[in-house]
Amino acid sequence: MEIEVIRKGQQTRITGREQVSLLELLREAEIYISAACGGQGKCGKCAVRMLSGATEATEADRRFFDEQEISEGWRLACLSYPREDCRIQIVSDDESEFEVVSEHEEVRPEAETMTGECAIAIDIGTTTLAIQLVERMGGRILHTVTGINHQRAYGADVISRIQASNEGKGAELTGSIRQDLYQGIGRLLAEYPVEPEQIGAVAIAGNTTMGHLLMGYSCETLGVYPFTPVEIGTVKSSFTELFAACLKEETDVRMRSIRAEVTLLPGISTYVGADIAAGLLSCGFDRREEPCILIDLGTNGEMAIGNKDRILVTSTAAGPAFEGGNISCGMGSVPGAICKVKIRGGEPEVTTIGDKPPIGLCGTGVIETVCELLEQELIDETGMLEEDYFDDGYELARTAEGEPIVFTQKDVREIQLAKSAVRAGVETLMLRYGATVDDICHVYLAGGFGYKIDLAKTIGIGMLPEAFAGKTTAVGNSSLGGAVEYLSQAGARQRLLEIVERSTEIELSTDKDFNRFYTDYMFFE
Amino acid sequence: MTVLEQIIEAIQSGKRRQLKVLIEDAMEEGIAAEQILNEGFLPAMENVSRKYHMEQFYVPEVILASQAMQVGTTILEEYMGGRKLPVIGRAVIGTVKGDLHNIGKNIVIMMMRGAGFEVLDLGYDVAADTFIRKAQEFEADIICMSAMLTTTMVEMKKVIGKLVNKGLRDRYVVMVGGAPVTEAFAAAIGADLYTQDAGSAAKMAREALKERGKL
């Protein structure tokens, strides 16, 4: 059977075989699309549109697409097994964009056996951890484990961790994160057949505070102006040295056999750390002629604008609202979290992650809700919720136990603060860089904020300028992607250093233009 | 609705342009600037503060209202031919050392000016000694300190300690505020006043001066 693949207006013909998935066929033809979960129908990243000869929709398809999308031919390539000639469209504006999205997710054609040297890439987030085993040559992802940063017990944000450290809890925090990473690596080894001797290197990205706590540095100077880090450059260590305390009690000979070099990647400043530098690497800022923007939609709202010659970075107090934090029924992106909202005929229709009974709202659901409420004019331009919903909030759905899941006036206000912080940051960066919205060639949204975020809605709520429509991509964990690239690509080390060197930080809280933008963009207009 | 009531409404909803017209109307009606201030600006500010506490208003509205208030103050002064509005008290205000957050502090300034205070803005990253020196030079009644980080709010304690050491503590009302600051923290470091929002800050500052017989 013949499959016609259309991507960016270009057509390629590939030959299909029974019992072989579209994703595999595409890979064979070296047409790479993202498949974060490795083709298990779990991540939804390999979405393609079957223009003709669409395969029967699977249960997974119904989870990721609504009826209209299904009828339009949207399918997950990993679970679609064509049996007749078909035409498919891969919607990703730009080949290079795609590379970014999937840089750390890219799955190359299967090797028979894995014999080469491996490495471990780690992203230490304030809340979560991601650890990936990768092939040194080519950067193929072999296995991923994720976990919780148990430092959360000492506070949710970096400032509270800094404070805990300053109050004498530094050693505990260091012990906690090392233990978390050690156990994560242990799981990686237990779940994937790799010989410990094969692991030659570990690269770690994370914000500067996370880096300090990992290395056991003092955080005294991180929390007060001028926010001077103890060390912001590349830090070399070794597995045996960093995890000495964990190894002391280790009985597993495999863990004791790891002899990897550990590198803590360099950051730019105390508030724009290695995670952002790595993100810039994975988005290829150093190769861009035209200016691009990277926004990490987390609590610290780090962002950057720039190209191969010059990069400006900053951070803005976005708060945790885009991750579902500080929202009355907010939650992380877990099964049962509402991630899609549509109000039809006055009735809200919600979609949850995994199609489980609704239990709350994830960051994507929060953005969707605000956008819908605005569209239905249930929120006015000042952010005021319609009077009927003022006291109890707008009910989106009920849990299995019959508890209402609501969106309140206060939630709207949280989003106003968060979105205007992001927008004002973006506007100020462009102003200082001397670029207009039209000069920006691409915008990358990083962070674990959302599940299948509808980028149009980020514009709908005014978080991003309208002119960014069509040139914005969600890149997920670009920090981890950067760490993988660092480990697996020739020249990446040098590129990262150059990115750091070319980056200049600007301070927003004292910036007059930022303050003006911040109040201006508070409205929904 | 009387013109004063309309002024209250305009400030509350942050309508700056409309406010300008209304103040002109009020002046034409022969209402004195002091009356506009006392029966227009002050009730507006109290409304904003009350609505904030009832969670009907949140930071965005407070920011917008305070900006309208600032515009209103300027217009009033213009109409008085450069003559300053009657000053009920003097305050120095700044964000403490190590902290660069400006927005919250600026809202408080606008509200306090609207409430009839002459306010000297010391900016951000203000050292303890600067707070004290400027308060003396400015002959302030009130020292206001803002901090937005748990790591910097301890600076407030330092300022109060220095005031005590210099024997100046009783000369000033010390007000503290900012997101991480709490009533309990304010009490623990020996501050006189803590308020949650800018509107009540201005109101409480007035009351504090009344109590001290300065008003």
Distance from CA of A409 to the nearest CA of B (A): 8
Beta carbons of B149 and A507 less than 8 Å apart: no
Q: Can you tell me the distance from the alpha carbon of A461 to that of A374, in angstroms, rounded to the nearest whole number?
A: 8
Q: Can you tell me the distance from the alpha carbon of A111 to that of A124, in angstroms, rounded to the nearest whole number?
A: 29
Residue A87 has pLDDT above 80, yes or no: yes
Distance from CA of B210 to the nearest CA of A (A): 33
Query: Please, which contacts does A394-398 make with residues 24 or more away whose CB atoms are closer than 8 Å?
Result: A394/A348, A394/A369, A395/A348, A396/A329, A396/A338, A396/A341, A396/A348, A396/A350, A396/A358, A396/A361, A396/A369, A397/A338, A397/A348, A397/A350, A397/A358, A398/A358
Higher pLDDT, residue A31 or B197: B197
Model pLDDT, residue A451? 52
Residue A18 has pLDDT above 90, yes or no: no
Q: A-chain residues within 8 Å CB-CB of B109?
A: none
Q: Find the range with the poorest average confidence among A261-265, A516-520, B56-60, B143-147.
A: B56-60
Judged by a CB distance cut-off of 8 A, whether residue A519 touches chain B is: yes
Q: Can you tell me the distance from the alpha carbon of B211 to that of B209, in angstroms, rounded to the nearest whole number?
A: 5
pLDDT, mean of residues B59-77: 87
Higher pLDDT, residue B99 or A34: B99
Q: Find the range with the poorest average confidence among A334-343, A435-444, A494-503.
A: A334-343
- For a pLDDT cut of 90, what percent of chain A falls above it? 63
Residue A200 has pLDDT above 50, yes or no: yes
Q: B-chain residues within 8 Å CB-CB of A522?
A: 60, 63-64
DSSP A377-419: TSB-TT-PBPGGGTTT-EEEEE-TT--EEEE-HHHHHHHHHHH
pLDDT in tens, A220-261: 999 999 999 999 999 999 999 999 999 999 999 999 999 999
Q: Which of A413, A420, A509 sits opposite B100 (nearest CB)?
A: A509
Distance from CA of B28 to the nearest CA of A (A): 31
Q: B-chain residues within 8 Å CB-CB of A222?
A: 151
pLDDT band, very low/low/confident/very high, at A101 (cuts 50, 70, 90): very low
Q: Find the range with the poorest average confidence among A59-63, A191-195, A456-460, B82-86.
A: B82-86
Which residue is closest to B123 within chain A, CA to CA?
A: A510
Nearest CA to A283 among A102, A501, A422? Answer: A102
CB count in 10 Å sphere of residue A351? 19
Residues in a beta bridge with A119: A134, A201
Q: Can you tell me the distance from the alpha carbon of B60 to that of A518, in angstroms, rounded to the nearest whole number?
A: 9
HSE-up of residue B94 (Cα within 13 Å, Cβ side): 25
Q: A-chain residues within 8 Å CB-CB of B100?
A: 225, 507, 509-510
Model pLDDT, residue B179? 86
Judged by a CB distance cut-off of 8 A, whether residue B53 touches chain A is: no
Beta carbons of B151 and A223 less than 8 Å apart: yes
Judged by a CB distance cut-off of 8 A, whether residue B63 touches chain A is: yes
Contacts across the A-B interface (CB distance below 8 Å): 70
Which residues, in sequence order, are CB contacts of B55 under 8 Å at separation 6+? A409, A410
Residue B178, phi-psi category: left (phi > 0), alpha (psi -120 to 50), beta (remainder): left
Q: B-chain residues within 8 Å CB-CB of A225?
A: 97-100, 125, 152
Residue B212, phi-psi category: left (phi > 0), alpha (psi -120 to 50), beta (remainder): alpha
Cα torsion at A191, A23, A452, A469 (round to 10°)? 140
Distance from CA of A510 to the nearest CA of B (A): 6
Judged by a CB distance cut-off of 8 A, whether residue B164 touches chain A is: no
Q: Can you tell me the distance from the alpha carbon of B40 to that of B44, in angstroms, rounded to the nearest whole number?
A: 6
Q: Which of A222, A509, A523 sits opposite B101 (nearest CB)?
A: A509
pLDDT band, very low/low/confident/very high, at B109 (cuts 50, 70, 90): very high
Q: Which of A159, A382, A518 sits opposite B150 (nearest CB)?
A: A159
A390, A375 in Cβ contact below 8 A? no
Beta carbons of A410 and B14 less than 8 Å apart: no
Disruptive mutation site among B146, B150, B155, B197 for chain A (greatest number of A CBs within 10 Å): B150
- For a pLDDT cut of 70, what percent of chain B falls above it? 99
Q: Can you tell me the distance from the alpha carbon of A340 to that of A261, in angstroms, rounded to the nearest whole number?
A: 44
Model pLDDT, residue A323? 80
Beta carbons of A382 and B59 less than 8 Å apart: no
Residue type, B30: G
Nearest CA to B90 among B60, B57, B119? Answer: B119
Residue A43 has pLDDT above 90, yes or no: no
Distance from CA of A524 to the nearest CA of B (A): 11
Q: B-chain residues within 8 Å CB-CB of A163?
A: 150-151
Distance from CA of B57 to the nearest CA of A (A): 9
pLDDT, mean of residues A494-501: 97
pLDDT band, very low/low/confident/very high, at A100 (cuts 50, 70, 90): very low
Q: Show the tokens assigned to B184.
A: 């309990």
Beta carbons of A223 and B97 less than 8 Å apart: no
Residues 371-390 of chain A with CB under 8 A from chain B are 382-383, 390
Model pLDDT, residue A92? 52
Q: Can you tell me the distance from the alpha carbon of B175 to that of B152, in angstroms, rounded to the nearest whole number?
A: 16
Model pLDDT, residue A111? 45
Q: Which of A383, A410, A417 sits opposite B55 (nearest CB)?
A: A410
Nearest CA to A214 among A260, A187, A182? Answer: A182
Model pLDDT, residue A112? 43
pLDDT in tens, B150-172: 889 999 999 999 999 999 999 99
Helix (H, G, I), strand (E, B) or coil at B214: coil
End-to-end, the C-alpha distance of chain A in Å comes to 51
Judged by a CB distance cut-off of 8 A, whether residue A522 touches chain B is: yes
Disruptive mutation site among A519, A523, A525 for chain B (greatest number of B CBs within 10 Å): A519
Beta carbons of A159 and B151 less than 8 Å apart: yes
Give the domains, in start order, of chain B with CATH numbers. Answer: 3-79 (1.10.1240.10), 89-211 (3.40.50.280)
Q: Can you tell me the distance from the alpha carbon of A27 to that of A24, in angstroms, rounded to the nearest whole number?
A: 5
Distance from CA of A424 to the nearest CA of B (A): 13
pTM score above 0.90: no
A518, A301 in Cβ contact below 8 A? no
Residues 399-418 of chain A with CB under 8 A from chain B are 409-410, 413, 416-417
Q: Cα angle at A135 between A284 and A125, to 5 degrees?
A: 60
pLDDT band, very low/low/confident/very high, at B215 (cuts 50, 70, 90): low
Which residue is closest to A415 within chain B, CA to CA?
A: B60
Cis peptide before A226 (omega within 30 of 0): yes
Residue B131, phi-psi category: left (phi > 0), alpha (psi -120 to 50), beta (remainder): alpha
pLDDT in tens, A57-79: 998 898 888 888 899 999 999 89
DSSP B50-85: HHHHTTSS-HHHHHHHHHHHHHHHHHHHHHTTTPPP
Distance from CA of A412 to the nearest CA of B (A): 10
Which residues, in sequence order, are CB contacts of A174 under 8 Å at separation 6+? A213, A214, A215, A216
Q: Which of A224, A509, A522 sits opposite B151 (nearest CB)?
A: A224
Residues 211-250 of chain A with CB under 8 A from chain B are 222-225
A285, A103 in Cβ contact below 8 A? no
End-to-end, the C-alpha distance of chain B in Å comes to 31
Give the domains, in start order, of chain A with CATH numbers. Answer: 2-91 (3.10.20.30), 118-276 (3.30.420.480), 285-320+415-520 (3.30.420.40), 335-404 (no CATH)
pLDDT, mean of residues A468-489: 93
Beta carbons of B14 and A383 less than 8 Å apart: no
Model pLDDT, residue A26? 83
Q: A-chain residues within 8 Å CB-CB of B61?
A: 382-383
Q: A-chain residues within 8 Å CB-CB of B13?
A: 382
Per the prediction, chain A carries an average pLDDT of 88
Distance from CA of A349 to the nearest CA of B (A): 27
Judged by a CB distance cut-off of 8 A, whether residue B51 touches chain A is: no
Model pLDDT, residue B150? 86
Q: DSSP state, B190? A: T
HSE-up of residue B199 (Cα within 13 Å, Cβ side): 27
Model pLDDT, residue A154? 79
Beta carbons of A509 and B106 less than 8 Å apart: no
Helices (H), A29-164: 59-64, 67-71, 95-102, 158-164
Q: Which of A223, A420, A515 sits opposite B149 (nearest CB)?
A: A223
